[in-house]
Chains A and B, each alone.
Chain A
Amino acid sequence: MNIAVCIKQVPDTTEVRINPETNTLIRDGVASIINPFDTYAIEEALCLRERFGGKVIVLTMGPPQAEAALRETISLGVDEVVLLSDRAFAGSDTLATSYALAQGIRKIGDVDLILCGKQAIDGDTAQVGPGISVWLDIPQVTYVKKIEELREEQEKKMFRVQRMTEEGYDVLDVPLPCLLTVVKEINEPRLPSLKGMMRAKKAEVLKWTAADIGCEDQKIGLDGSPTQVKKIFSPPARPGGEILCGEPAEIAAKLKQYLKGVN
């Protein structure tokens, strides 16, 4: 089973600051990491490889420095890594990004499963994973918390998976090839090994441009991005609460006043 995992390199902070003029993330001085949700996708891919054989290929679209994130995945045991990097990709929104990744996967060819984290911690859109499946015209299941088993029915291979919902989970069968986005409940990501880190230093990172993966110009970069960000802002801080003091009867009376006020 060949598995492609799409990852994103993100700033190492949940407190992302935003440049109010350009409405873009301020990345200066912030260390980069693999999007934490993607680490669960990588772990799941490695576990599936241990069960079913095959290889794990990790892709990312990003600037040249995203190579560091790819090398890190090799230290975890990933077989091959691909960096989609081209100035023509600059300014891509989730639609254009998912298109480029889908083109990259097409070029890889023989892929049975695509895994993504449920969303990236910087943009939080959760759109790229599903977008890839639409471009490739394959089924998708989002928020997967468990891959139960690989089943075969009428010579069709399918995964039985659990999709997390607010109330519990759905059990779904999804035929291969398919795309799954995973939540953190699915596993506990491993740490790199020393031997893996040694391998990562020397490993080759495949670098593909927009032309290499046959991207149509109008589908990538700013031209391929219908999303226009009008404004990004941090939500206003919640006003502090108030602690009511005094005798119970007094407090009850005060509380009553508050409740009336709200109504």
Chain B
Amino acid sequence: MDYLLTEEQIMVRDLARKIAQGKLKECVAEYDREGKFPWPVMKQLAEADLFGVYIEEKYGGMGAGILELCLVTEELSKVCGGTAVSYAASALGTDPIILFGNEEQKMKYLPDIAAGKKLAAFGLTEPNAGSDAGAIETTARKDGDFYVLNGMKHFITNAGEAEIYTVIAMTDKTKGARGASAFIVEKGTPGFTFGKKEEKLGIRTSATSELIFNECRIPKENLLGKEGMGFVITMKTFDFSRPGVAAQAVGIGQGALDLAVDYAKQRQQFGKPISSFQGVKFMLADMATQVEAARALVYSVARMIDSGNTKVAKESAMAKMYASDVAMKVSTDAVQVFGGYGYMREYPVEKFMRDAKITQIYEGTNQIQRDIIGNNLIKEAMGKK
């Protein structure tokens, strides 16, 4: 399918593809097996200027947008969903600064992120606050020119590896979700440490760990927006970042499909390649169609955001939900095409199935996405009356 990408977008995509098909492909099996963070690949992405594609030029970026971020994420994801999310999660941690940071905060943090010198991460989830983000327990107490953070975040992507964290904490517990605020916390701040590293089913090359705050004092200048805006910042950030997860899912689907097509061509049974059997061929046809439909949706939403639309919650949720459901289905079917070989770790296809699952869960479970879509539908219908 021709998505009418500009010359620059093709450049971005091809450069990411070069890195994915080169260095990343070389080390992916080992890194996945051992749960190692792909620093050599991150370094290449940094040298190629790919961390700055969505950041404004005056902060050292390329001044492009979410579509470019999606193109890079998808290319990485065709080889390794874990590396793709490490890249995209840095954008997730950066989005609150881009969307709500003041000039000073942007000047201080964005250039290093754009240059790939520092990774970012987003800290929202807690043991008792997953889908119910309003239930977070981490607190931020104002103390003169400082805020003092206490509490714990878990399942945080890039934790430990990133230098810059945007963290949601309660400044006023009595107000519920309206009492949450967003802060920038730098690695190395006294009282800020990391907990246990999670052993995961998939995206094993990505780092997932706990953020622990124990009387962690940060300057009051590190507050993003105003006190009480934490929940709004979170929702807006997700509206912008969900296409990234959706692109990761498209990449996983495409990567699994490519492997399945290749295998079906060469695997002989009953004296013929299995691709000549309708049962297999029709499966491949469905898989390819689903991946393409997901990609078309994701690119459209990314373009919608890049053209300046800010009311994108519904479309963004649709892209994330649909693409991740497709990734799960297509990668499962790809393993099926491989038969018994597909179930073996020795073959690369099972990794795609393991990596796909998380895309249905994080950045809002697909049940939450349906909730967002449904609520927006009803709101729109009320508006028409």
Give chain A's interface residues, CB within 8 Å of chain B: 190-195, 197-198
Is residue B15 contacting chain A, with contact meaning CB distance below 8 A? yes
**Who on chain B is nearest to A197 by CB?**
B11
**Who on chain A is nearest to B19 by CB?**
A191
Is residue B48 contacting chain A, with contact meaning CB distance below 8 A? yes
- Separation in Å of the A55 CB from the closest CB of chain B? 20
Which among A194, A195, A197 has the highest number of chain B CB atoms within 10 Å? A194
Query: Closest 9 A-B residue pairs measured CB to CB?
Result: A194-B49, A193-B49, A193-B48, A195-B49, A197-B11, A191-B48, A194-B62, A191-B18, A193-B47
- Separation in Å of the A64 CB from the closest CB of chain B? 21
**Who on chain A is nearest to B45 by CB?**
A191
Is residue B261 contacting chain A, with contact meaning CB distance below 8 A? no
Given contacts A192-B48, A194-B52, 6 further A-B contacts (CB under 8 A): A191-B19, A192-B15, A194-B48, A195-B49, A197-B11, A197-B15
Chain A residues whose C-beta falls within 8 Å of the C-beta of B52 in the assembled complex: 194
- Separation in Å of the A43 CB from the closest CB of chain B? 12
Chain A residues whose C-beta falls within 8 Å of the C-beta of B164 in the assembled complex: none
What is the CA–CA distance of A127 and B8 in the complex, to the nearest angstrom? 39
Q: Do A191 and B49 touch across chains, with their CB atoms under 8 A apart?
A: no
Chain B residues whose C-beta falls within 8 Å of the C-beta of A195 in the assembled complex: 49, 62
Within 8 A of A (CB), among B25-83: 44, 47-50, 52-53, 62
Chain A residues whose C-beta falls within 8 Å of the C-beta of B48 in the assembled complex: 191-194
- Separation in Å of the A5 CB from the closest CB of chain B? 20
Is residue B12 contacting chain A, with contact meaning CB distance below 8 A? yes
Chain B residues whose C-beta falls within 8 Å of the C-beta of A198 in the assembled complex: 8
Residue pairs across A and B with Cβ atoms less than 8 A apart, 9 shown, are A191-B22, A193-B48, A194-B11, A194-B15, A194-B49, A194-B52, A197-B11, A197-B15, A198-B8
Chain A residues whose C-beta falls within 8 Å of the C-beta of B12 in the assembled complex: 194
Which among A190, A191, A195, A198 has the highest number of chain B CB atoms within 10 Å? A191
What is the CA–CA distance of A191 and B22 in the complex, to the nearest angstrom? 10
User: Out of A190, A191, A194, A197, which one reaches B53, CB within 8 Å?
Assistant: A194
What is the CA–CA distance of A192 and B17 in the complex, to the nearest angstrom? 12
**Who on chain A is nearest to B60 by CB?**
A195
What is the CA–CA distance of A191 and B44 in the complex, to the nearest angstrom? 8
Chain B residues whose C-beta falls within 8 Å of the C-beta of A194 in the assembled complex: 11-12, 15, 48-50, 52-53, 62
What is the CA–CA distance of A198 and B50 in the complex, to the nearest angstrom? 13
What is the CA–CA distance of A192 and B22 in the complex, to the nearest angstrom? 13
Chain A residues whose C-beta falls within 8 Å of the C-beta of B44 in the assembled complex: 191
Chain B residues whose C-beta falls within 8 Å of the C-beta of A192 in the assembled complex: 15, 48
- Separation in Å of the A195 CB from the closest CB of chain B? 5
Q: Do B47 and A190 touch across chains, with their CB atoms under 8 A apart?
A: yes
Chain B residues whose C-beta falls within 8 Å of the C-beta of A190 in the assembled complex: 47
What is the CA–CA distance of A195 and B62 in the complex, to the nearest angstrom? 8
Which among B8, B22, B48, B52 has the highest number of chain A CB atoms within 10 Å? B48
**Who on chain B is nearest to A194 by CB?**
B49
What is the CA–CA distance of A195 and B115 in the complex, to the nearest angstrom? 11
- Separation in Å of the A25 CB from the closest CB of chain B? 26
What is the CA–CA distance of A197 and B8 in the complex, to the nearest angstrom? 9
Q: Do B47 and A191 touch across chains, with their CB atoms under 8 A apart?
A: yes
What is the CA–CA distance of A194 and B53 in the complex, to the nearest angstrom? 9
- Separation in Å of the A96 CB from the closest CB of chain B? 35
**Who on chain A is nearest to B12 by CB?**
A194
Chain A residues whose C-beta falls within 8 Å of the C-beta of B53 in the assembled complex: 194
**Who on chain B is nearest to A200 by CB?**
B11
What is the CA–CA distance of A234 and B49 in the complex, to the nearest angstrom? 43
What is the CA–CA distance of A197 and B53 in the complex, to the nearest angstrom? 13
Chain B residues whose C-beta falls within 8 Å of the C-beta of A193 in the assembled complex: 47-49
Which among B11, B18, B44 has the highest number of chain A CB atoms within 10 Å? B11
**Who on chain A is nearest to B53 by CB?**
A194
- Separation in Å of the A18 CB from the closest CB of chain B? 30
What is the CA–CA distance of A34 and B291 in the complex, to the nearest angstrom? 35
**Who on chain B is nearest to A190 by CB?**
B47
User: Out of B8, B11, B15, B62, which one reaches A191, CB within 8 Å?
Assistant: B15
What is the CA–CA distance of A198 and B9 in the complex, to the nearest angstrom? 12
What is the CA–CA distance of A194 and B8 in the complex, to the nearest angstrom? 9
What is the CA–CA distance of A198 and B6 in the complex, to the nearest angstrom? 13
What is the CA–CA distance of A194 and B47 in the complex, to the nearest angstrom? 9
- Separation in Å of the A40 CB from the closest CB of chain B? 16
What is the CA–CA distance of A195 and B49 in the complex, to the nearest angstrom? 7
What is the CA–CA distance of A217 and B19 in the complex, to the nearest angstrom? 46
What is the CA–CA distance of A194 and B49 in the complex, to the nearest angstrom? 6
**Who on chain A is nearest to B18 by CB?**
A191
**Who on chain A is nearest to B46 by CB?**
A193
- Separation in Å of the A154 CB from the closest CB of chain B? 40
- Separation in Å of the A196 CB from the closest CB of chain B? 8
What is the CA–CA distance of A198 and B19 in the complex, to the nearest angstrom? 18
What is the CA–CA distance of A191 and B18 in the complex, to the nearest angstrom? 8
- Separation in Å of the B91 CB from the closest CB of chain A? 16
- Separation in Å of the B203 CB from the closest CB of chain A? 24
**Who on chain A is nearest to B49 by CB?**
A194
- Separation in Å of the A47 CB from the closest CB of chain B? 13
Chain A residues whose C-beta falls within 8 Å of the C-beta of B47 in the assembled complex: 190-191, 193
- Separation in Å of the B133 CB from the closest CB of chain A? 35
What is the CA–CA distance of A193 and B15 in the complex, to the nearest angstrom? 8
Which among B15, B44, B62 has the highest number of chain A CB atoms within 10 Å? B15
- Separation in Å of the A186 CB from the closest CB of chain B? 18
